[in-house]
Amino acid sequence: MKNPLLVVIAGPTAVGKTALSIRLATTYQTEILSADSRQFYREMEIGTAKPDQDELEAVPHHFINSHSVEEEYDAGQFAEDADALLQRLFEAHDVVFVVGGSGLYIKALCEGLDEMPAVPAGIRETLREELETVGLEVLLAELEEADPVYYAQVDRHNHQRVIRALEVIRATGRPFSSHRQAKPKRQRSYDVLKIGIHEDRKTLYQRIDDRMDVMIAEGLFDEAEALYPHRTLNALQTVGYREIFGYLDGAYDRAEAVRLLKRNSRRYAKRQMTWFSRDDEFHWFERGEVAAIQTLIDEKIKASE
Q: How far apart are the first and last CA of the chain?
A: 4
Each of the 305 residues of the chain gets a pLDDT tens digit; together they read 789 999 999 999 999 999 999 999 999 999 999 999 999 999 999 999 999 999 999 999 999 999 999 998 888 899 999 999 999 999 999 999 999 999 999 999 999 887 778 888 789 889 988 988 999 999 999 999 999 998 988 888 778 889 989 999 999 999 998 887 655 566 788 999 999 999 999 999 999 999 999 999 999 999 999 999 999 888 998 999 999 999 999 999 999 999 999 999 999 999 999 999 999 999 999 989 999 999 999 999 999 87
**CATH number, domain containing residue 147:** 1.10.20.140
Q: How many domains does the chain fold into?
A: 2
What is the domain range of residue 108?
Answer: 5-113+183-303
Do 60 and 129 share a domain, yes or no? no
Residue 114: partners with Cβ closer than 8 Å, 6 or more residues away: 179, 180, 181, 183
Is residue 217 domain-shared with residue 127, that is, in the same domain?
Answer: no
Looking up residue 287, the CATH number of its domain turns out to be 3.40.50.300
Decide: helix, strand or coil at residue 231.
coil
Asked if residue 172 and residue 197 are part of one domain, the reply reads no
Whether residues 251 and 133 share a domain: the answer is no
Residue 181 confidence (pLDDT):
63
Verify that 74 and 209 share a domain, yes or no.
Answer: yes
Q: Decide: residue 204, CB within 10 A, 0-12 exposed, 13-18 middle, 19+ buried.
A: buried
Q: Is residue 19 domain-shared with residue 158, that is, in the same domain?
A: no
CA–CA gap between residue 304 and residue 4 (Å, rounded): 8
